[in-house]
Structure 1
Amino acid sequence: MGAGVSTVRLSADKDTGVAVVTLDRPGRLNAVDEDMVRELSGVWRALRFDDSVRAVVLTGAGERAFCTGIDRDFAVPQPSSPYMQDDPLLAIGPKANDLWKPVVAAVRGMACGGAFYLLGESEFVVADTTAVFFDPHTTYGMVSAYESVLMAHRMPYGEVARMMLMGSAERLCAQRAHEIGLVSELTEEGRALEAAVRCAVVVAGAPTEGVQGTVRALWAAKEAARAQAFAQAPHLIALGNLPPGRQAELFAGRRPEYRLR
């Protein structure tokens, strides 16, 4: 973990076999910074060796957001070559860190942009009625590449295309997300974590080898297509992203109005 204040909390119940991983930067809407990238990767890798943990719930601290993607203050220098793009968010998910224990996401409030790296590597999503989903990339002159690929495996094409192309002008409400299958269970406000833990307890109670093998099989069903699409992402980003200065101008001039659907 980082030397400063921890950005990720881990708690485990040895009796149920369920661990809860909490993104813990509520003052920044659980946006991902350099410390969180490092800590999340460390947590997932540590859980590989903890046989007392058989299922994981991933959530965000506070009431306003699950995660709002990369912190705008987290500057990531990029090489000039499109063949060497550096995306730190590729390292934050459980599958990226070779963890094949089931992960259930519990969403309250906003989940946007880089949050989809985490939702895309979770087995399923539980959300409460405050949850909203959106991707602001295009609004700020950026290509939604990895996020779009991950969500295209979760949502009907037209729905994911609309969410990505509408940018910050529109947010997908929890009810609609449930209707289209992005969210598997919709709860009352404040009850998503409880419901996700309830599911995880059931899963953790099944024989471990069968559960982890099933997780691996489910991922294999989409892994080849995901890998091929990810291979195109650096080039599309290099071609389509506005210069960082222009992105910052668009971000600074953003308007808070949006449509909820």
Structure 2
Amino acid sequence: MNKNRLTLNVLDSISKKINKSNSLNSNNKVLILITGSFFELDEKIKELKRLKGNNIDISLGFSFMAEKILDINNIIDSLNPLKVYREEDIFNIHNIIKDYSKIVVPNITINTISKVSLGMVDSFVSNLIWSFLYMNKEVYIDFTSLKTYMGEPCKNAEIDTMIDDYTSKVKKMGGLEIEKGNYLEKIFYGENMSGKIDSLNKVITERDIMNYSNTNKFILVPKGTILTPLAKDRAKERGIEIKIET
């Protein structure tokens, strides 16, 4: 091998290492934490796939109970994550915090939210959520799974109040609420910074743009949507970026 070829190979190797390092430190890296709740999980997995479709890299973290009762291999195959973390990674929390800009919890359980609200960090998922909140990093939580246990809604008023108290406490600590149907908008564009237009005929008019408040800086529209010239002009006038969902 001549010297020029050897030099090029060395430079290529260095470049790959740098690119890999940059990828690991990307602000678009999200860690999804899965707990032991089945509630609407298949639908939420589909919702999480939308993140990948918009150039957001994701990794997965599973609680001890999730590993025991969920088909985690199917979840991993569906989302094809960069990395997979498990309960034993509780000893690697410090490095995980550095590697990810935000975490998403699509199916939080009573066990997890009670621990976080009380500062009990004796498990991987509760420790990670608490640590991100403690460091004032973004934590997105779908709280809807708290209202169903073993497939049944709560019929005890006192327990229902307790759940609401835990939820309120975690929100005050900085937890950001997401719901099925708005994961991408809340996580990718930020709280109160985006709108979404779903149009049956996929034609966005000036009226559609005017229906959104000035606080919306982005509007997400389905792929294949047609924007009328007046809609484009009005969006430009109001400083609104129109993003096509991929």
TM-score (norm 2): 0.30
- Structure ID, larger Rg: 2
Q: Which has the higher helix share?
A: 2
**Higher-RCO chain (CA-CA 8 Å, sequence separation at least 6):** 1
